[in-house]
Structure 1
Amino acid sequence: MNHPSPSSSSSPTPIQSQTLTLIPGLPYDLSALILAFIPYSYHGRLKSISKSWKHFFSSRFIHSIRHKHVPISKIPQLLCIFPQDPSVSSPYLFDPQNRAWCNLPLMPCNPHVYGLCNFATVSVNSHLYVIGGSLFDTRSFPLDRPSPSSSVFRYDFATGSWDSLPQMLSQRGSFACVTDNERILVAGGGSRHAMFGAAGSRLNSVEMYDIGRNEWVGLDGLPRFRAGCVGFMVGNEFWVMGGYGESRTILGVFPVDEYYRDAAVMRVGDGGGGKWKAVGDMWEEGERRQLGRIAVVEGVDGGGPEIFMLDKNDIFRYDMSSNCWWKETSLPKRALDESTVGFMALNGELHVMASHNGAGSVENRRLRRHKKLTSLYLQIYHPGKKIWRTLITKPPFQQPLDFKTTVMCTIRL
């Protein structure tokens, strides 16, 4: 079969000009279409097949082919995991459908700062953003106290490279962050670090990053200081929920956070954000100490998103009309320590993740022969079908994930 001529309607791209052979015996267009549907988690290994495959899997062309034939909403989500500071420990992608892992390059390293945590990550198309966080700065005093960061980095999956973007207007860690694919909104936060309790500052400032204009714009501040909060979009409304404000001390010595039971909502339009409106307490005094881990399941067929909370070993669904959390289900296998459990929404399902310590199965006995190996145990719940399933996977890193500090987000590639 002959290759299409350069003058045909499917004229070669710069990638084609280097070589018109991807799969021997097949035209370039058909070969490219076949390769474009191979999951991203295998691309790294496939680049070593040939020089033409390396160029193809390293180009933007593969993303344009895939998105041309499959709507972005139909492309399966991958899980981005940041076990530690991404400038010293590689981030990873996990493909749950194929149980495949791949690592990403390290983020650019600043020799003056270290120990980045409490940063936020969001994805927009084929880009991954790492925003803010708390860290230690050798240029600040005292050295053992964390400093907030305003840095923003973006990873381009098409080129496999990191870029430094304009910094936020305010330095912040432990903040609410969300994107609508045109803008990134951040709210609240402070300088709290994972190694310290109630230490650090609190903010109420809010700002928006315009992706097209590549600039940050300040918005109306939150009604009160709020750090450790979560954010999500419901239509054109930016919700900021939970978190903590001022701290109190026990016996005048031990600092304790005062956690919020309410939320705040801002309507976001084309020209920016509006005013905040308060949403009252979502539970009664004594019902729970603080907001649990939150996961947002995307709406189906134009429907609104569904908000879920993992509270100890139970999952609750948020009802906006009543401003209450209603119990949805309980974990089939209870977590020994709920603080070390991860909670994410992925492809319409809720994933509860923990380091696997089960016993009895052939796979577990095989894993125990290699003491350095660890595994990840996932309990997966489908809210629509109301059924559970489990998945066990072997991550490529040695140490178990600490979900108290691990940062995660999803991406479609």
Structure 2
Amino acid sequence: MELIPNLPEEIGRECLLRVSYKAHSKLKAVCRNWESMVSSPGFYHDRKISGTSEQCIGLIQAFVQGKSMKDKGHRAPSYGLSVYDPIQGAWDRLPSIPLFPSGVPLFCHCVSVNQKLVLIGGWHPSKWEAMRSVFVYDFSFGSWRQGADMPTLRSFFACSVSPDGRVCVAGGHDDCKNALRASEAYNVEEDQWEILPPMSQERDECQGVYLDAKFYVISGYTTESQGRFERSAEVFDPSTGSWSRLENMWSVGGCPRACVVCRGNLYFFQKQGVMQYNSKENIWGVVDSVPDSVSVAMCATVWRNKIFVSGTVCNGGDQASYMFDPNIKEEESSRRWIAVNRPQYFSGFVQSAVTVEI
């Protein structure tokens, strides 16, 4: 049976490859041929190879409250999962998790694996209790499924995705605020967790990135040193299955929340400026200033060799977002920062951001 009547098979396939991800779940309902094609991993591989895939930014973002709700002043914000398409300038909101119709778990981590967004951990939206839960949103189905729980109950932990698609987590703290050394890895496709060796020390509020095919767990603090961030980092090498310690890696100090890797370079965004890490010298250097409107409570993610940065001018202030291009020369710095238009409905605080290719 032809994919599209009166069209050669390859032309029909090319047509379907160009359909926006928003309609993929509807494509499956047309006929079995279309359902089989869209459900196959080869469909998204071919979209990527042919240049028809869509790279969007997923954001854990506070719902915008009405004025009457703001005036009450006592209601904690709820968060949903927004999707921003920088090419189209379009914003969208993903459907709620069936178990949590009022919002995603607070402080959960969000990562991208293949054409899926994975939410890990966080706090129960109404009970404010730490959770082990994993939820996976599959763009090909347009729906959520619940994954296997994390083996270790943890909050404010390091989290990043390996080149082979494993989600690695480490550190954080348990429900008694004890900092953790434990680390684990999650295989999204097989829905299985693997226990990894523990780090050399406990690290709460650490940051995870993959750099040079290794899992870096940056800074954090111990149970006894609440809020005093370590200068060291730990590096997990999947090829040896072991950790190594990197002293004085975090010389910039403070919370390492807004760290991202772009084109093999590690960047950190803070009020004092954009910092770039030199792994050979184990030092950081300032490469640019940061716009005042995003200088507080920043988060960042890489999109097509640029870096999407979101933040505010002060705690509780208006939110703003920019696209930062580290490839533009310093003398043309005025072109490095391009403001992103955010409609009022999507103007809420951005807790975290991640890029997903669909």
Give the TM bin, normalised by the shorter chain.
0.7 to 0.9
1:236-315 aligned at under 5 Å gives the runs: 236-247=213-224, 257-269=227-239, 274-282=241-249, 288-291=253-256, 293-297=258-262, 299=263, 305-315=264-274
The answer to whether the aligner puts 1:344 opposite 2:301 as a matched pair is yes
Compute the RMSD of aligned alpha carbons: 3.7
3-state SS, counterpart of residue 393 of structure 1: coil
The answer to whether the aligner puts 1:159 opposite 2:148 as a matched pair is no
Deviation at 1:400, TM superposition (A): 2.9
- Equivalent-residue separation in structure 2 for 1:177 and 1:129 (angstroms): 11
User: Counterpart amino acid of 2:171?
Assistant: G
| 1:272-330, Cα deviation, whole Å (9 max, x unpaired) | x622111011355xx64443511111x3xxxxx21100121410111111111111111
Deviation at 1:241, TM superposition (A): 0.6
User: Counterpart amino acid of 1:214?
Assistant: D
| 1:42-98, Cα deviation, whole Å (9 max, x unpaired) | 648x969xx859x9599725974452264399945310012149xx75412111122
User: Counterpart amino acid of 1:398?
Assistant: Y
User: Counterpart amino acid of 2:275?
Assistant: F
3-state SS, counterpart of residue 222 of structure 2: strand
The answer to whether the aligner puts 1:390 opposite 2:355 as a matched pair is no
TM-score, length-scaled by structure 1:
0.70
State the identity as a percent: 22
TM-score, length-scaled by structure 2:
0.79
- Equivalent-residue separation in structure 1 for 2:299 and 2:137 (angstroms): 23
Match of 1:30 in 2: 11
The answer to whether the aligner puts 1:120 opposite 2:78 as a matched pair is no
3-state SS, counterpart of residue 15 of structure 2: helix
The answer to whether the Cα contact below 8 Å between 1:184 and 1:208 also exists between their aligned partners in 2 is yes
User: Counterpart amino acid of 1:68?
Assistant: D
Match of 2:201 in 1: 224
**Higher relative CO (CA 8 A, sep ≥ 6), structure 1 or 2?**
2
Cα distance, 1:68–1:114 mapped onto 2, change above 3 Å: closer
Match of 2:82 in 1: 92
Match of 1:104 in 2: 94
Cα distance, 1:291–1:212 mapped onto 2, change above 3 Å: closer
Match of 2:152 in 1: 170
| 1:186-236, Cα deviation, whole Å (9 max, x unpaired) | 1011258xxxxxx83321110112345432121111111112111122343
- Equivalent-residue separation in structure 1 for 2:230 and 2:51 (angstroms): 34
3-state SS, counterpart of residue 259 of structure 1: coil
3-state SS, counterpart of residue 153 of structure 2: coil
**Unpaired segments of 5 or more residues in structure 2?**
64-77
3-state SS, counterpart of residue 235 of structure 2: strand
The answer to whether the Cα contact below 8 Å between 1:292 and 1:311 also exists between their aligned partners in 2 is no
- Equivalent-residue separation in structure 1 for 2:328 and 2:48 (angstroms): 24
Cα distance, 1:27–1:57 mapped onto 2, change above 3 Å: same
For the pair shown, which has the larger CA radius of gyration, 1 or 2? 1
Deviation at 1:392, TM superposition (A): 3.1
**Unpaired segments of 5 or more residues in structure 1?**
1-5, 7-11, 139-145, 193-198, 249-255, 300-304, 358-373
Cα distance, 1:377–1:176 mapped onto 2, change above 3 Å: closer
Residue from 178, 181, 189 that aligns with 1:201: 178
